[in-house]
Structures are given as C-alpha cells and as structure tokens.
Chain A
C-alpha cells in the first residue's frame, strides 16, 4: 500500500513561513490534499488537488507537488495556525485513501 511520510513536528516564528512536507513514491504524479486539525476539533480541508484552496481558506495557505515530495506552505504564520496538518492521497491501485502520519506545527 502507498505510504506517506511527514515530519512529526515543525516550528516557526510568527510572521515567518512554514513548510510542511509529505513524502511518497513519485507523489508528484498524483493529487495531494491537506487538512488542518486544531486541538479538539475535526480536520478541515485547507488545500486540495496539490494547490487549490477551498472557499474561506486564506491565501496564506498554498501547496506544491513534484517528484517525491508535496509541500504545504503557510505564509505569514499566525498563532491560530498552530495545529496538526495531514496530507492525504488516493491510492488508485486499491481505491483506498491514505493519510500521512501528521505534522504538529508549533508557532513560537
């Protein structure tokens, strides 16, 4: 089955840029989706299809995907961005949905 690898944690100062990676075999050839999960809350979709944003998601959230790594970039980080972030893909060979292990974003 397809495996997605995320760093357990990323730290960033307010106002700076955070980059959260999601590694997978030739992940650049498939669509990657990203979710934000604040403590005690359900996940929220923040980026879909590598780089598209649902309505209501700030432009500060962006995504890219190439080669073996997809990246979620959060610009001008705010305290409210502190959360767990998960990448997710569709494994077409099995029709299964796969999540990465999650990355805890800490705003210093």
Chain B
C-alpha cells in the first residue's frame, strides 16, 4: 500500500520561503510509472494543482505560482519536496502531496495534508 506523508513548518513569515517534504512509502519515486505532485487548498476554498516532478527531474508548474515554485526529488531518501518563495497570506493553505500515474493523469494516492500558515 502506497503512503505519502507531508512534513515541514506549519508557520512561515511573509516574504520567506515555504518548504515541505513528502515521504513516500510502499512505492518508489524512482519509478518511471508515476508523477509526484503537489496540490494546495486555501481554507474554505477549492483544490489548486501546483505542479509535478518526474523521477528524471523534469517538472511542470501551474502558471499562477510558476515564478515562485520549485519541486525537487531525492531518490536516495524516497522523497520529493516543494519550495514556494516570497510567500504572502494568500499562500496559506493545506498542502497535499499525491501520486499520479504517468499515463493516467489522475491522482490515486494522497497524503493527509499539512496546514501552512503565512503570518508574522
């Protein structure tokens, strides 16, 4: 059974960088069969796809955050990470990591999510 678990600070100051890690168990981020994605959900609002990374390191980002986002992968730790720079209150959200089949384009396994609040 594949499991994903987000981790990172729950509070980030405005203008700083938000950093989260997703640890994968029961599966490998080195597999060429999957994309590894980040999705966020502001309080009381809908889901927003942030972007994905493939095991090769190739990435694709939502234009709404592309200039501030970096997704990376650490195959040795079976983890992938998200960085969002220059955060504002609008980046306050529950952040989810998820797995997507490389030829399916749906998200079949999700982490439980972690709330990140941007506040001074």
Contacts and interface: CB of A to CB of B under 8 A. Distances in A.
Interface stretch (B19-27, B71-79, B109-117): B109-117
Contacts of B107: 33, 35, 43, 45, 88, 97
Contacts of A37: 47
Contact of A33 (B106, B110, B111): B106
Contact of B46 (A89, A90, A101): A101
A99 B49 contact: yes
A97 B46 contact: no
A44 B46 contact: no
Nearest to B46: A102
Contact of A43 (B63, B96, B104): B96
Chain A interface helix/strand/loop/mixed = strand
Interface residues of B, number: 21
Interface in A27-54: 31, 33, 35, 37, 41-45, 48-49, 54
Contacts of B62: 96
A98 interface: yes
B105 A90 contact: yes
A93 interface: no
Interface of A: 1, 31, 33, 35, 37, 41-45, 48-49, 54, 84, 86, 88-90, 95-102
24 contacts: A31-B106, A33-B106, A37-B47, A42-B110, A42-B111, A42-B112, A43-B107, A43-B110, A45-B106, A45-B107, A48-B104, A48-B106, A84-B46, A86-B46, A88-B47, A88-B107, A89-B105, A97-B49, A97-B100, A97-B107, A99-B47, A99-B48, A102-B46, A102-B47
